[in-house]
Amino acid sequence: MEEEKTRDYVSEIKRMKTAKNAIILAHYYQTEDIQDIADFVGDSLALSQKAASNDAEIILFAGVKFMAETAKILAPEKKVLIPDLNTGCSLADSCKPEDFKRFIRENPGRTVVSYVNTTVEIKALSDIICTSSNAVQIVNSLPEGEKILFAPDRNLGNYVMKKTGRDIKVWNGTCHVHEEFSLEAILKLKEENPGSKIIVHPECELPVRMVADFIGSTAGLLQFTKQDSGSCYIIATEAGIIHQMKKENPDKKYIPAPPKDSTCGCSECNFMKLITLEKIYKCLKSEKPEILIERKLLADAQKPIKRMMEISKNLVVNP
């Protein structure tokens, strides 16, 4: 019965996509069934690039709200839908516009570099946006000696500071998934799986980054497992990416890094997992909820994103 329902949703979604000239963009942290029905699966940078360059009239965004907002900012003429408006983000929500304005006021003369994991209001207050795929290169592209404010992820900010040696003041925000990985449990897994490699997202805390064999964005970690000669990986990022890793190299072993609290499913983002096939079906059918952004706010948020995309075009992104 359940299977039948899923089959019906999948075929109806496919039919409506064609009839309405719609595409589904899905983040790597979506569930497997959603990744499999998407026209394009990627991380924040790749999804932004795809949103900016496609022929569809409707973009249905299977991800969290700030990502759908980014798609709308980059494709304002398109209808951008999100199946659930409650798809927040603990990181984006840690940075409120009024507090952020104060942070900028208290630190005058610094270039504001914001991670894409921010609301449209924070983007509009920023000079340039970055993703975890290009954060180091974006900061390095700024003139030597330029002082920087980085928001909102303190772990990524500290990682970028160390990699670039720049003068960076970091906002104190974290992601509830990446902050929660247990160093002890990771090291135990490494011992139990000789030859395994620990691969880590830069949003993780310093002690976890310190034991990493490789640090990279979600796309970077996927690329690493594709090219690396190893056969077993302990993955310290949201577990949804393992679906793509398995598709690329089914014979390798992928172990999600466990969270500090072993009773919770904290290596999964509960916001990302709010999206379901049923919600996608209903959203595409009703063309609601739609992402709408006031014109001036959209224009202000577009500038720093376009600046990032312009720089990213010329970069060989180091994952």
On whether the CB atoms of residues 287 and 80 are closer than 8 A, the answer is no
Min dist CB 219 to ligand SF4, Å, is: 14
Give the C-alpha distances (Å, rounded to integers) separating 37 from 27, 116, 169, 175, 287.
Answer: 12, 25, 41, 27, 18
Min dist CB 227 to ligand SF4, Å, is: 24
Residue 303: exposed, middle, or buried by beta-carbon count in 10 A (0-12, 13-18, 19+)? middle
On whether the CB atoms of residues 67 and 42 are closer than 8 A, the answer is no
- Nearest residue (CB) to ligand SF4, 46 versus 56: 46
Q: Give the pairing of strands 168-170 and 197-200.
A: unpaired
- Nearest residue (CB) to ligand SF4, 148 versus 179: 179
- Applying CB under 6 A, the span of 10-18, 204-212, 268-276, 301-309 interacting with ligand SF4 comes to 268-276
Residue from 149, 271, 291, 293 binding ligand SF4 (CB under 6 A) = 271
Q: Does 306 bind ligand SF4 (CB under 6 A)?
A: no
Taking alpha carbons only, the member of 106, 257, 113 closest to residue 196 is: 257
- Applying CB under 6 A, the span of 33-41, 49-57, 169-177, 291-299 interacting with ligand SF4 comes to 169-177
Q: Does 238 bind ligand SF4 (CB under 6 A)?
A: yes
Q: Does 176 bind ligand SF4 (CB under 6 A)?
A: yes
Phi/psi for 40 (5° steps) reads: -150, 130
- Applying CB under 6 A, the span of 50-58, 97-105, 257-265, 266-274 interacting with ligand SF4 comes to 266-274
- Applying CB under 6 A, the span of 11-19, 85-93, 216-224, 303-311 interacting with ligand SF4 comes to 85-93
- Applying CB under 6 A, the span of 10-18, 50-58, 267-275, 292-300 interacting with ligand SF4 comes to 267-275
Binding mask 198-237 for ligand SF4 (x = CB under 6 A): ----------------------------------------
Q: Does 62 bind ligand SF4 (CB under 6 A)?
A: no
Q: Cα 77 to chain center, whole Å?
A: 23
303: which 2 tokens? 């500038």
267: which 2 tokens? 């290596």
Min dist CB 177 to ligand SF4, Å, is: 4
- Applying CB under 6 A, the span of 163-171, 173-181, 187-195, 217-225 interacting with ligand SF4 comes to 173-181
Q: Does 89 bind ligand SF4 (CB under 6 A)?
A: yes
- Nearest residue (CB) to ligand SF4, 16 versus 60: 60
Phi/psi for 139 (5° steps) reads: -65, -40
Cα radius of gyration rounded to whole Å, the chain: 19
Min dist CB 115 to ligand SF4, Å, is: 9
On whether the CB atoms of residues 101 and 92 are closer than 8 A, the answer is no
Give the separation between CA 72 and CA 45, rounded to whole angstroms.
14
Which residues from 90-109 bind ligand SF4, rule CB under 6 A? Answer: 90-91
Q: Does 175 bind ligand SF4 (CB under 6 A)?
A: yes
List the 197-200 sheet strands across, edge first: 214-215, 197-200, 232-236, 253-256
Min dist CB 220 to ligand SF4, Å, is: 15
62: which 2 tokens? 């299977």
Give the C-alpha distances (Å, rounded to integers) separating 165 from 149, 155, 254.
Answer: 14, 15, 33
Binding site for ligand SF4 (CB under 6 A): 29, 64, 89-91, 117, 175-177, 238, 269, 271-272
